[in-house]
């Protein structure tokens, strides 16, 4: 086939469960793998299982997993042809993607132009709106003066949300309930954005008071084909960060799924997108409102894999090589139900990260159970990185059976030596609101503030 760039060796520019997830795909595809690691990760599972590994720096992420020069040198000396960035770290850094390409490697991901466009929430919103995707009502572009802020807030109505153009990870957002709070909130969000992201631009959005977070998984090849693989409902969040994700969403209909899927596919065809991507929406009162697009594989991608049977990482690598998509839209079927729980090394009450040594580790098993994790008995969770240590994903015929399977899997799960969020997940699963799917993005915060029996 014309234009195929074979990948025989791939460098994984990440750590933890996602590094292992990518490594598994490379093994099954007959591609040799190169792991990179900091001095704190010499014993990590992705390093142990990779064909080759290169130490790229000290524990601090800035000097290792974010060190583009060290990663490119590692690719050079090992003779890798391609680099997969995973999620987090350099995954959405357009300059890094550009450098990878300029050094003659394949970047497993979208073009630097699309990463740049979507990485800035202001340009992203404008671009997708132009391509026909519905967005949250708000300011046109960044707000630079108080006059425009007041006028916009009057137009869309309070409460409004001030968001940082460069924001991410649930940071750089503040809700404003009344006109009297707006000027001060603008100032403080700008300061926070400047300090946190080195970019003080902010914009205004209507604050939705009971939304669900529903996102669409898409995949595109170099030949202009784009498919969507249904949605993930990620409404269970703490501090705007996802804790439990499921597919399909219990609150949308097949007609709504088809309609939003079609809108998204047409928009991405127009934009000429390549690779895996997620279009995130808030959904309230039957309407979808775009909030952002992530130009990478997501933490919660396994729920989509479980209901579609498609290996998303394999597909990413395959389209990066120049192969056409392995499926057409008509061939994609959503079968049964899948739910993922994120398990963090943290105190289940205070939710403060608690790294340390794992004394015993026994993951659950049996039908429909998948555990994506890079930990093992005797492993020490280092304090330098994200506290996510495992993802438990289960699949079954329908949502009720899926929840039953999840409960028995969480009960089987043994992680001794450090505290984890397993008790919190079990408490959430026991709640009638969760079981009956009556929750929005604010539910978990309210539950944590006033747990039953408190
Ligand atoms: P980040 O990039 O930091 O993840 P997002 O724009 O994806 O930020 O938003 C993360 C979460 O913040 C959403 O899932 C939702 O819970 C909340 N959120 C964002 N925008 C709004 C809005 N306009 N109204 C209400 N909640 C919002």
Q: What is the DSSP string of 255-316?
A: HHHHHHHHHHHHHHHHHT--EEEEEEEEEETTEEEEEEEE-S--TTHHHHHHHH---HHHHH
The residue whose CA has the least distance to atom 14 of ligand 1 is 213
The answer to whether domain 9-108 has CATH 3.40.50.20 is yes
- Phi then psi for 361, rounded to 5 degrees? -140, 120
CA of 342 relative to ligand 1 center, distance in Å:
19
Q: For residue 244, give Cα distances in angstroms to 103, 133, 391.
A: 39, 26, 10
Q: 411 to each of 45, 343, 351, 422, 423, how far by Cα in Å?
A: 25, 13, 20, 9, 9
pLDDT value, residue 405:
98
The 3-state DSSP class for residue 213 equals strand
Tokens 């153009």, residue located: 165
Given a cut of 60, whether residue 205 has pLDDT beyond it is yes
The per-residue pLDDT for 168 is 87
- Between CA 28 and CA 76 the distance in angstroms is 24
Q: What average pLDDT score do residues 304-330 get?
A: 98
- Mean pLDDT of all residues in 263-290: 98
**CB of 203 within 8 A of CB of 139?**
yes
Read off the pLDDT of each residue in 203-219 and give the average, rounded to a whole number.
Answer: 97
Dig out the tokens for 359 from the structure: 């004394």
**How many helices and strands, by DSSP H and E, does the chain display?**
15, 20
Q: How far apart are CA 219 and CA 225, in angstroms?
A: 8
User: Residue 284 corresponds to which tokens in the numbers above?
Assistant: 């309230």
Atom of ligand 1 nearest to the CA of 169: 3
List all residues whose CB is within 6 A of at least one atom of ligand 1.
136, 161, 167-170, 205-208, 211, 213, 237, 240, 280, 282, 291-292, 441
Q: Is the pLDDT of residue 350 over 90?
A: no
Please compute the mean of the pLDDT values over residues 120-140 and round it to a whole number.
Answer: 96
Kindly report the protein residue whose alpha carbon is nearest to atom 15 of ligand 1. Answer: 240
Q: Looking at the predicted structure, is the pLDDT value of residue 234 above 70?
A: yes
What separation in Å is there between the alpha carbon of 293 and the centre of ligand 1?
12
pLDDT digits (tens, 9 = 90+) for 155-182: 999 999 999 999 988 888 999 999 999 9
Contact assessment for residue 350 and residue 387, using Cβ atoms and an 8 Å cutoff = no
| Topology at the third CATH level for domain 212-449 | D-amino Acid Aminotransferase; Chain A, domain 1 (3.30.470)
159, 279, 282: residue to mutate for ligand 1 pocket, most atoms within 8 A of CB? 282
Which tokens go with 131?
A: 């391509």
Question: Which pLDDT belongs to residue 450?
Answer: 85
Residue 28 in this model has a pLDDT that exceeds 80: yes
170 Cα to the center of ligand 1, angstroms:
7
- Taking alpha carbons only, the member of 207, 218, 235 closest to residue 128 is 218
- C-alpha 140 – ligand 1 centre gap (Å): 18
- On the question of pLDDT at 454 being above 80, the answer is no
What is the DSSP code (8-state) at residue 92?
Answer: T
- Residue predicted with more confidence, 170 or 213: 213
Q: Is the pLDDT of residue 452 over 70?
A: no
d(CA 31, CA 269): 30
Q: What is the rounded average pLDDT of the residues 278-288? A: 98
Q: Which residue has its alpha carbon closest to ligand 1 atom 20?
A: 291
Residues 6+ apart with CB under 8 A from 331: none
Beta bridge partners of 212: 283
The percentage of residues in the chain with a pLDDT greater than 70, rounded to a whole number, is 99
**Closest Cα to atom 2, ligand 1: which residue?**
168
Q: Quick one: pLDDT at residue 3?
A: 86
137-206 folds as Dna Ligase; domain 1 (3.30.1490)
State the first-to-last Cα distance of the chain, in angstroms, to the nearest integer: 64
- pLDDT surpasses 80 at 367: yes
At 433 the pLDDT is 98
**pTM, 2 dp:** 0.96
Catalytic residue, candidates 116, 201, 296, 314: 296
Of the listed ranges 20-24, 144-148, 304-308, the one predicted with least confidence: 144-148
pLDDT exceeds 80 at position 409: yes
Q: Is the pLDDT of residue 1 over 80?
A: no
Average pLDDT of 187-214? 96
- The residue to mutate among 138, 165, 170, having the most atoms of ligand 1 within 8 angstroms of its beta carbon, is 170
Domain locations along the chain: 9-108, 137-206, 212-449
Among protein residues, the one with the nearest Cα to ligand 1's atom 11 is 240
CB 111 within 8 A of CB 97: yes
Tokens 């934009």, residue? 271
Residue 296: active-site member: yes
């Amino acid at each position: 086939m014309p234009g195929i760039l074979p990948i025989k060796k791939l460098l994984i520019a990440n750590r933890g469960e996602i590094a292992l997830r990518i490594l598994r795909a490379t093994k099954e595809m007959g591609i040799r793998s190169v792991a990179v690691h900091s001095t704190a990760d010499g014993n990590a599972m992705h390093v142990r299982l990779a064909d080759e590994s290169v130490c790229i720096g000290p524990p601090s992420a800035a000097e290792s997993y974010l060190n583009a020069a060290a990663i490119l040198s590692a690719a050079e000396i090992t003779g890798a042809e391609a680099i997969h960035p995973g999620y987090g770290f350099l995954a959405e850094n357009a300059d890094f993607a550009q450098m990878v390409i300029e050094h003659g490697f394949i970047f497993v991901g979208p073009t630097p132009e699309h990463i740049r466009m979507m990485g800035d929430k202001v340009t992203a919103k404008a671009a997708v709106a132009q391509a026909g995707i519905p967005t949250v009502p708000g300011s046109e572009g960044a707000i630079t003066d108080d006059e425009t802020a007041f006028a916009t807030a009057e137009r869309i109505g309070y409460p409004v949300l001030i968001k940082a153009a460069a924001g991410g990870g649930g940071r750089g957002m503040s809700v404003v309930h009344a006109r009297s709070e707006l000027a001060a909130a603008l100032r403080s969000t700008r300061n926070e954005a400047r300090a946190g992201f080195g970019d003080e631009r902010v914009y205004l959005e209507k604050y939705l008071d009971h939304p669900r977070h529903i996102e669409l998984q898409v995949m595109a090849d170099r030949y202009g084909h784009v498919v969507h693989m249904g949605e993930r409902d990620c409404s269970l969040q703490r501090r705007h960060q996802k804790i439990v994700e499921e597919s399909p969403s219990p609150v949308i209909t097949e007609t709504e799924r088809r309609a939003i899927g079609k809108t998204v596919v047409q928009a991405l065809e127009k934009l000429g997108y390549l690779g895996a991507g997620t279009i995130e929406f808030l959904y309230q009162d039957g309407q979808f409102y775009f909030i952002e697009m992530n130009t990478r594989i997501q933490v919660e991608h396994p729920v989509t894999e479980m209901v579609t049977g498609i290996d998303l990482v394999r597909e990413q690598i395959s389209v990066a090589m120049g192969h056409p998509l392995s499926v057409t839209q008509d061939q994609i079927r959503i079968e049964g139900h899948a739910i993922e729980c994120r398990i963090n090394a943290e105190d289940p009450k205070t939710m403060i990260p608690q790294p340390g040594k794992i004394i015993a580790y026994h993951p659950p098993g049996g039908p429909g159970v998948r555990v994506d994790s890079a930990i093992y008995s005797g492993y020490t969770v280092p304090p330098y990185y994200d506290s996510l240590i495992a993802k438990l994903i289960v699949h079954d015929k329908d949502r009720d059976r899926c929840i039953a399977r999840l409960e028995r899997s969480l009960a089987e799960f043994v992680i001794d030596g450090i505290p984890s969020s397993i008790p919190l997940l079990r408490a959430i699963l026991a709640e009638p609101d969760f079981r009956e799917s009556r929750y929005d993005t604010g539910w978990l915060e309210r539950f944590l503030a006033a747990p039953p029996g408190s």
